[in-house]
Structure 1
Amino acid sequence: DAKNWFYTTARDFGLGAETGIDLPNEVKGRIPDRKWKQDFWKANKDAWCKEGKKGGTYVQQIAYESCLEGNQLKAYDSINYAIGQGDVLVTPIQMATAYAAISNGGTLHAPTVGKAVISPDGKTVQEIKPKVTGKLPVNAQTIKDLDKGLRSVVEPGGTAAWRFGGWPQDKIP
Structure 2
Amino acid sequence: MVIATAGSEAKLRVAREHGADHAINYRDCDWRTAVLALTGQRGADVIYDPVGGETFEQSLRCIAPEGRIIPMGFASGEIPSVPANIVLVKNISVLGVYWGYYFGWGRHGVPTSNDARLRRAYDTLFEWARQGKLRPLAHAVLPLREFRQAFQMISSREVIGRVVLRPQE
Q: Normalised by the size of structure 1, how large is the TM-score?
A: 0.24
Q: Normalised by the size of structure 2, how large is the TM-score?
A: 0.24
Bigger relative contact order, structure 1 or 2 (CA pairs below 8 A, ≥6 apart): 1
Higher helix share: 1
Higher strand share: 2
